[in-house]
Amino acid sequence: RACYCNICRPATFVLAPDGPELHFIDLDLDVLVWPDGSCVVTDEDDFAENSVRYAYPEDIQVAAREAVESLLA
């Protein structure tokens, strides 16, 4: 079974009427780490498409790629 690493914007806590909520924005990229140590990056096509569709700022795109690289190191 793989460990699933979701690349996202930093989470924030919001005090909602029904209690605290955790909000985050998923940046599409994911890294799967298998028990043998091998890794697979998924959803790179979604990241590329959504970077344009939702106008991800350049610094966010760079940070997402750096997060992937740090997981692969």
Over range 15-37, report the average pLDDT: 96
Place of tokens 């924005």: 25
CB 35 within 8 A of CB 1: yes
CB 14 within 8 A of CB 20: yes
Chain segment 28-69, per-residue pLDDT in tens: 999 999 999 999 999 999 999 999 999 999 999 999 999 999
Q: CA 50, 51, 56, 61 torsion: positive or negative?
A: positive
CA atoms of 58 and 17, how far apart (whole Å): 34
- Asked if the model's pLDDT at residue 1 lies above 90, the reply is no
Over range 18-34, report the average pLDDT: 96
CA atoms of 51 and 72, how far apart (whole Å): 22
For residue 12, the model assigns a pLDDT of 96
